[in-house]
Structure 1
């Protein structure tokens, strides 16, 4: 991005004793010397750059060198100098991510739904509903209050909300295992879980035991606008098999982490309902009716996930790609909770990461997905869990290096978390906040078109990593989402000292 330093560093900083790398955007062909100075101007490190062999590097379209900064000691105000270029200042400290890990969780509190109207929401009816959901005849109104708003709008979605809750439940597990206070995270988990339970269709209604797929307005709510001022009509969309399997899976996870045996009955009811209605697929409406469709035509992995959470024998195929898990790609959550060996997928991610001059374990050939930053973090979660399982330091180092990308060591020199770094995201697309709080993650580069959600024409023709705009009009690159902040909370807590 114009005006930003050509030497890209982690603007939050580096952990002592871990890998410390920077990436230099330069046309130089041969290795060049670089020096690291502290705030007082004293030299604290030096070395020679390593030209990246692919020129240009394909994800960014840039010619770059990688700089190994070596074992810089704790301190503030470090800068890297190579030729005429200087990096942003950064620090080296053990507690780099402590405050950020708390801010990342605080976003969920800020996204809590306190909409009074959600205590009595009807099922959606009318010509569009009948076309999308033939045979569904909803009756009455339902209390679906609470829960977290999904993104920069006022929709709440079971498949997205369940995977975000699964992540925070795993964060609570991690904190407890390390003897740290998990009470704030547990409180957020219970708030979201209470909403998910209210999304389960009660007895006496069509599709009883299943989970409504989503709740939001029949039209997109205005921007800006507070939830209490939302003029749209809020409705529930037909239950889906995917939502029901996700409810079963996350209820089982919660029963263990929160020590709540009653949740097993919730999961059992959902499991049986999903088996009775295996083909209720959420249609792809292209987001025309006030919210994203969150469709998923292939439920094979959803059933595998729920089966794994039951602890039943299940064959979990290795993922065919390394594009990160998401609401519609839940094989990896199944694998993580199955107790199986995590080294094979983690080793594949380390191999992929070693082929990137920016340090991220993510580089899909078909393009970068909506929410690529969340997918990168989810790949880092795999590495973190592999480190927990094996104690192999390589996996932790992979997490440390991968985090660099999110905090400024990327093609745009962009720190994608609000309130952190010199060139942090500032203009997230969100209805909820007049002032964006710290600790919110932007979706990031997105080079794959999404029907119904037009991309900005200014991004046309850019390399995948450069498909990003820090503007509040860029829904496909600069939105917020609970599915992205959940792994941010996990990874920063994993890297945190307290």
Structure 2
């Protein structure tokens, strides 16, 4: 039941109050201050699942450098910390072995094993050969074998369900209205093995139903789906909830009751006055950083994910995606009024005469502008690719004027839960990077052309920053971010040719200058598409440049613009063609699902949407709709990956404020937040580690706040989710 009980590395274990390391296959915790309570110094493992009144056997060996007491505790992980085992054991410097029987007084799917050694003088305590044996905890499986979009299907879209069954022959299905009356019936179509989930599946197609329906159920061979609707309004509210995510991730301002879906989502401002300087301590790899002789006011921006870091790189793709939707809506909208016109979105700026979508994007854009290094300021940075020796970085002092700091974050990782207004960690600027600088160059150029007819002063500010950033990036082409700092993610990227192309494309579209045209034409990413250079992500931004060249009027000749569109259409064709090759009918043909796989599906859907804009061919719109069917429940987990939508929605994302499962005084997640989704590649968090070897592709997911590799939420994932729901609602009557 335990992970890594013989300490082959440190996987599976956590420590608090001391330093954890592995010595001679023993897990050791060393502490200099034992605190006041036994639990002030702990070595433990969480995510244990126990059955009531069953017998479990705990075995382990332990020793201490100096004589000490060890408390072996098995308890509920959280209030009221119900104890199932609590034994105090005297330790010496000789290894002793222990064995205990445990009979839990309750069924508990959130228990922990804790070895407590606090409230004692400084010491080193080591354990080994730890095991816990007992009956396997079986979750009550509420999943239906009939997987549908649990919210519903657009009236004129194809309406299909996937049925998990080992039966090889067609099965009868009936579509039942809310009164149980059959409104349609037919036979399923056997698909066979869906390799992405390891299941045998069949497809039920009830597309012939094209009248509005509420709370209908699909019954297949006696098994029933969750209820769903057929309507033009499936995404009408969802798009606004998706956009509300960004308001609720704002830093530096109170989140007000008037602008959120529930009163418990309001909170005081987190980090209301963020005036910070460069990191000037020893990093996690042992490098000493000299800091810098200036500070910046970087108040504002969006918290990136479930933590309180603010990142230029991940912010860049997110801001670009929101502003891109504004641009394409302006060029291709089917209605005369934007769905995000001033006053349409619940945000404080809703009456300032600017489009509310632009207002939200500007909140992050202003932060990114503030992260630019002032002229002639010097900062010490690692120049060149030093990823092979992170514990011995060579730092070079450079004139960093015009470059952009990579991130602002806590000095150390904080725990869950922790509302942002309660975060007291010291915060620092991480050094400027080439990637962050190019992210500002690209998005600030995009900002300049969008805001030009609305606010020329702000447009000038954006363009000046963009051109300074471009010049600085070309002066310092190889300053890369690394995973050297506690308290924040690295967003490291040692390949920035795609960012250079993206920035050149945005600057050329905005200014028409030959300098930028030459740069983009000489790039290996020239007119690239996501199928040529991989999916659009924060680390692979080349295709974003091609999108802007193909979408926004510019000085390229028409044949080149047509070529850019053709390349993007070819990518959309590849995505659309893969739908029929997947048992869950999605434009994603793979047996492996990476971290944030749901965002890959959403970003692919952006290219499908653009293809529809340019061709009016409905197959692209249908593939987008199929993507959302998967996200909203037609998936092997029979789960909606979106909070607040569907019979089984996302409830427990990895988030420090939306952490009701950890602290009942904190709120559950607001509606409209998308989970990162299945991750069959990286099982590095303790919850995900329990699934390793026990899941396949699309089934490697769990709705657990501790599963950050599978159930994280981020700005760059909600941005394409917003884009897709907005597009589908705009075309709801297709």
Task: Normalising by structure 1, report the TM-score.
Answer: 0.94
Shift of 1:258: 2.4
Shift of 1:454: 5.3
Shift of 1:10: 0.3
Shift of 1:35: 1.4
Output the CA distance in 1 between the equivalents of 2:287 and 2:687.
Answer: 26
Q: 1:248 aligns with which of 428, 441, 447?
A: 441
Contact between 1:221 and 1:231, CA under 8 Å: does it hold in 2? no
Question: Deviations along 1:38-97, whole A, 9 cap, x unmatched?
Answer: 1122222222211113x3x21111110011112322110211111111111100110110
Q: SS at 1:337's partner residue?
A: helix
> Is 1:494 aligned to 2:648, yes or no?
no
The residue aligned with 1:457 is 689
The residue aligned with 1:155 is 309
The residue aligned with 1:13 is 152
The residue aligned with 1:329 is 540
Structure 1 residues 489 and 60: alpha-carbon distance in aligned structure 2, compared to 1, 3 A threshold: same
Q: SS at 1:161's partner residue?
A: helix
Q: Which has more radius of gyration?
A: 2
The residue aligned with 1:139 is 293
Output the CA distance in 2 between the equivalents of 1:459 and 1:105.
Answer: 32
Q: SS at 1:108's partner residue?
A: helix
Shift of 1:360: 1.9
Q: 1:189 aligns with which of 344, 361, 366?
A: 361
Question: Deviations along 1:394-424, whole A, 9 cap, x unmatched?
Answer: 1111111111010000010110010000010
Question: Deviations along 1:365-397, whole A, 9 cap, x unmatched?
Answer: 5x2111111111000011001111221111111
Question: Deviations along 1:100-139, whole A, 9 cap, x unmatched?
Answer: 10011111111100144653111001232896687x7522
Structure 1 residues 236 and 450: alpha-carbon distance in aligned structure 2, compared to 1, 3 A threshold: farther
Q: 2:504 aligns with which of 307, 313, 321?
A: 307
Shift of 1:332: 2.1
Output the CA distance in 2 between the equivalents of 1:391 and 1:485.
Answer: 26
Contact between 2:217 and 2:228, CA under 8 Å: does it hold in 1? yes
Q: SS at 1:98's partner residue?
A: coil
The residue aligned with 2:486 is 289
Question: Deviations along 1:456-496, whole A, 9 cap, x unmatched?
Answer: 22211210111111011111111110001111111111111
Contact between 2:530 and 2:536, CA under 8 Å: does it hold in 1? no
Q: 2:181 aligns with which of 33, 42, 48?
A: 42
Output the CA distance in 2 between the equivalents of 1:201 and 1:49.
Answer: 61
Root-mean-square deviation over aligned CA pairs: 2.0
Q: SS at 1:79's partner residue?
A: strand
The residue aligned with 1:112 is 250
Output the CA distance in 1 between the equivalents of 2:544 and 2:472.
Answer: 22
The residue aligned with 1:77 is 215
Contact between 1:18 and 1:397, CA under 8 Å: does it hold in 2? yes
Q: 1:316 aligns with which of 501, 505, 527?
A: 527
Output the CA distance in 1 between the equivalents of 2:146 and 2:620.
Answer: 26
Q: 2:644 aligns with which of 419, 425, 434?
A: 419
Task: Normalising by structure 2, report the TM-score.
Answer: 0.65
Question: Deviations along 1:253-291, whole A, 9 cap, x unmatched?
Answer: 112222224322111100000000000011133xx5101
Structure 1 gap ranges (5+): none
Structure 1 residues 304 and 281: alpha-carbon distance in aligned structure 2, compared to 1, 3 A threshold: same
Q: 1:375 aligns with which of 597, 600, 613?
A: 600
Q: 1:65 aligns with which of 181, 202, 205?
A: 202
Shift of 1:228: 2.6
The residue aligned with 1:298 is 495
Q: 2:166 aligns with which of 27, 37, 50?
A: 27
Structure 1 residues 375 and 335: alpha-carbon distance in aligned structure 2, compared to 1, 3 A threshold: same
> Is 1:363 aligned to 2:589, yes or no?
yes
Output the CA distance in 2 between the equivalents of 1:211 and 1:191.
Answer: 17
Shift of 1:450: 6.7
Q: 1:278 aligns with which of 472, 477, 484?
A: 477
The count of residues paired between Structure 1 and Structure 2 equals: 491
Of Structure 1 and Structure 2, the greater strand share is in 2
| Greater Cα shift, 484-493 or 316-325 | 316-325
Q: SS at 1:164's partner residue?
A: helix
Contact between 2:437 and 2:469, CA under 8 Å: does it hold in 1? yes
The structure whose RCO (Cα within 8 Å, separation 6+) is larger is 1
Contact between 2:633 and 2:639, CA under 8 Å: does it hold in 1? yes
